[in-house]
Amino acid sequence: MGINFKQNDVKAIRSKALLNEIETIYDEQADQSERKDGYTPGPHLSFVYKDRSTIEDATNLIVHHMKRQASISKDDKQRIKQLLHHFIPDLFFMSRGELSDDEQDKDEDMDAEEGEKTEKDNCGSHSLSSSTSNLSSNNHNVDQISDKEKKCAEMSTEKPLLNGDLGKVNPDVEDQDLYSLFFVNNNWYLFFRLHQLLCDRLCQIYTQAVKIAEEEANAKKKGRKESTAIALRLRAQSDLDPDDYYPYFLEMVKNLLDGNLESSQYEDQLREMFGIHAYIAFTMDKLVQNLVRQVGFMFYAKHSFLSLSLSP
């Protein structure tokens, strides 16, 4: 299953494949709207971020690999950090992450410039190819989308190519009217699509690590003896505690990205820890690399995220 997954997933996370996916859905819904009177299409894509703590883990992996890219300038690296540590948490109604003193100063200067331009901005900054982010939370105070943003959204006459609903953070929240609306171009859409994939797979690995740790704790309470494979020396006894599987896994991904770990060693260690569930993480490095490449394209295209930032 791991071999098939690796081959198929490398193709599935390419930009062309992800764009084809949502364009196909858009065309299908458009055809249904033409054939059926009164048909009201829902979001083209909808995703749930099951564990928001994985957003921070995803940020750490992206920043780790981004720092090592010589093709990205120092200024762009600072802006990318602001995007990941400030804008993304704002979008998901989370607390902002920490920035270094230099990055904080640059962030304040750019926010000040943005404040001066606010009155001059028109709907152009909001009428990119559209992708909506419909998020809600009962743990954070959120600012409703401004009247100006709503007006800009209504006045936009450009036919949207992309319109993805990136899921509700908490589907059980009482007030389902809380949301963040974000109009984006293809580069931003691809970033969010890959970001959701990364967070979802991190969540799966974390869930499996917790399950293994619980099973190991219960087995020790019952006085379970060592496995037959270890007793016969067919497998070495691991010095790694199951409670440390997830943080160790994150470090392995970083070492793989840095070239300090062979992919075969990485996969063997994953199988050792997670068994038949390991394959979901085999392409984790490719996913992070695609994300860093995509976030670089976002800044090469000169689309500043500051003009679309939410209020803290």
> Domain residue spans in the chain?
42-195, 198-288
For residue range 246-263, list pLDDT tens digits in order: 999 999 999 999 999 999
Q: How does residue 146 score in pLDDT terms, banded at 50, 70 and 90?
A: very low
pLDDT at residue 221, rounded to an integer: 75
Q: Is the pTM of this model over 0.85?
A: no
Q: How does residue 99 score in pLDDT terms, banded at 50, 70 and 90?
A: confident
Lowest model confidence (mean pLDDT) among 76-85, 151-160, 174-183? 151-160
H-helix segments, the chain = 2-12, 15-35, 53-66, 74-82, 88-91, 101-117, 147-155, 186-221, 228-231, 245-258, 263-274, 284-300
- Please provide the average confidence, as pLDDT, over all residues in the chain: 75
Q: How confident is the model over 32-55, as a mean pLDDT?
A: 86
Contacts of 167 (CB under 8 A, 6+ apart): 46, 47, 48, 49, 134, 135, 196
3-class DSSP assignment, residue 180: strand
pLDDT at residue 126, rounded to an integer: 30
The larger pLDDT score, comparing residue 231 to residue 29, is at: 29
Span between the terminal Cα atoms of the chain, in Å:
44
Q: How does residue 309 score in pLDDT terms, banded at 50, 70 and 90?
A: very low
pLDDT at residue 39, rounded to an integer: 76
